[in-house]
Structure 1
Amino acid sequence: MSLADLTLDHWRSLDAAAAAPLAHEAAAQADGRVVLLDTVEHLGRPLHRVRIEREGREFALIPGGPVRLGFDLDAWEPTPAQSADYAASVAEGYGYGHDTLKGHLAEMLSPLRTATLAAVLMAVEDEPLTEPPAATPAVLAARGLRMPDPDEWEHACGAGAGTLFRWGDECPLDEPSYGGGHGVRHRRNAFGLHIAYDSYGTELSADPAVVHGGDGGEAVCGGYGDLLAWLPLATAHRNPWTAEFAYGPDGEGMYEEFSTRPVFSLR
């Protein structure tokens, strides 16, 4: 079996002894070495996590296959606290013209869908851009890497969870969505990634129309409200205005404020 064909379901069916050779094969393809192979509980089942060091940076193994992406708004209801916080934002003139939180999310989150993805290695940490966005693919290609596809990013972040955030449907509205700390947003996700952890971040994808993991601090600096400041960390969040800025003339001149999460394609 090609490693690129490794599905999440098959990966979860393996015991640790059967998972180890695949982890080392992935490391060999990347000219790296396995620095972690452990097992965690995720969605009621065991999930093996692999970290591979390659040229001084760590990558996580992200199995693919048929995956469910986007957010199911029809199956979700906001908590009273979330509804109240959003209503306060609307009263202050925010919410992009939507009276209800669900209406706002319908515009800001990617729709529920399925996709078939190849297994990849994805960087545990995002990397600040060293060149403008248009030049970044070539910079990464020189290292044998590429930018993530938006579907790959969502799958790697959510790891099969259908919740609003990678950790669940709620966020601590009494805590900031940015900066350092040890709160829920800084916990490694099920695949071992440090991802969607700071609303001041903006991770660029291979699609110039889609960014992830933050809005550059727009909601925080603008005083939009606590929930709207946390929403850029939602797994399916896609802010078209932030993407337009990042790839526009103003964003080109401040590219070091943006990042991307390099991917190594397995074969």
Structure 2
Amino acid sequence: MSLADLSLTRWRSLDLPAARRLAQLAAERAGGRVAALETVEHLGAPLHRVRIARGEREFALIPGGEVALGFDADGWRSPPGLEADYAESAEQGYGCGPDLRAHLAQVLSPRRNVTVPTVLMAVEAEKLTAPPAGTPALLAAEGLRVPSSDEWEHACGAGARTLFRWGDACPLDRIPYGDDSGPHQQPNAFGLRIAHDTYDAELTSDPGAVHGGDGGESVCGGYGAVLAWLPLATAQRNPAMAEFVHGPEGEEMYEEFSTRPVLPL
């Protein structure tokens, strides 16, 4: 099997020796080395997790293929407490409607099937060192690129169809910022440190989408627990933050934002 044919479904069907061979092939193609290969439990089945070191960066192997992305608001079943917490925020007039399900349909990307390539994606997001318009050229000089919005969402959720990468529920007794014990602090299924800090807004190649955080707006605004956790939702694209980032003020504050370099295979 070649890396070009490596879909998430096929990757999950491989035994450990076969996964090790493909991990080594990816490392050789990237000019790096396999730093770790482990098998974790994900969605009720084993999933191999690979980290490849290249220079000062570590990348995770993200198998692609045809994948389901987005959030099905109509078919979603709300965990206990979320709707009540959201209703309290709505009553205080934080610019959201009275119904949580309708709000999710507005702010999350819709359910859809897309095809994404197999890539290596940086385990950690990196702060921008140039305005958004100049970032792609800087990465290209290193053989890297900015991820697409679909690639980011797939890498974050790793096939999960839940609201967050760890499930549908979020802690209602605290907000994510300053919480070192919450589910957002754990590496995701592919080994990425992703969607873990609402202040860390990650740019993609889509100027209308910023992932992983809202620049701290919801936390600073005291919007309530659910609205504070929602910027970490896998399908959340934070369009208002994206407009700010790519506007005049964002161009001046570029060092506050991040991106997650991708190494094509």
TM range (shorter): over 0.9
CA distance in 2 between partners of 1:180 and 1:262 (Å): 26
The CA deviation string for residues 52-84 of structure 1, in whole angstroms up to 9 with x for no partner, is 001111000000011000011122122341111
Superposition TM-score, scaled by structure 2 size: 0.98
| Structure 1 residue 4 displacement after superposition | 2.7
Aligned in 2, Cα 1:85/1:180: closer, same or farther, shift over 3 Å?
Answer: closer
Aligned in 2, Cα 1:10/1:110: closer, same or farther, shift over 3 Å?
Answer: same
Q: What residue identity is the alignment partner of 1:152?
A: E
Q: What residue identity is the alignment partner of 2:145?
A: R
| 1:69 corresponds to | 69
| Structure 1 residue 43 displacement after superposition | 0.8
CA distance in 2 between partners of 1:35 and 1:47 (Å): 17
| 1:238 corresponds to | 237
Tell whether 2:84 aligns with 1:84.
Answer: yes
| 2:175 corresponds to | 176
Tell whether 2:28 aligns with 1:44.
Answer: no
Aligned in 2, Cα 1:169/1:106: closer, same or farther, shift over 3 Å?
Answer: same
What are the residue-to-residue correspondences of 1:1-267 with 2, within 5 Å?
1-96=1-96, 98-179=97-178, 181-266=180-265
- Aligned CA RMSD, in angstroms, stands at 1.0
Contact 1:5–1:118 (Cα < 8 Å) also in 2:
no
CA distance in 2 between partners of 1:211 and 1:262 (Å): 14
Aligned in 2, Cα 1:80/1:182: closer, same or farther, shift over 3 Å?
Answer: closer
| Structure 1 residue 2 displacement after superposition | 3.5
Aligned in 2, Cα 1:180/1:227: closer, same or farther, shift over 3 Å?
Answer: closer
Secondary structure of 1:145's aligned partner: coil
| Structure 1 residue 180 displacement after superposition | 5.8
Percent identity, aligned pairs only?
66
Contact 1:89–1:95 (Cα < 8 Å) also in 2:
no
Query: Can you give the 5+ residue segments of structure 2 that lack an aligned partner in the other structure?
Result: none
| Structure 1 residue 182 displacement after superposition | 3.2
Aligned in 2, Cα 1:80/1:21: closer, same or farther, shift over 3 Å?
Answer: closer
The CA deviation string for residues 73-105 of structure 1, in whole angstroms up to 9 with x for no partner, is 122122341111111111110143x21001111
Contact 1:95–1:104 (Cα < 8 Å) also in 2:
no
CA distance in 2 between partners of 1:3 and 1:80 (Å): 42
Query: Can you give the 5+ residue segments of structure 1 that lack an aligned partner in the other structure?
Result: none
Q: What residue identity is the alignment partner of 2:37?
A: L
CA distance in 1 between partners of 2:28 and 2:244 (Å): 39
Q: What residue identity is the alignment partner of 1:87?
A: A
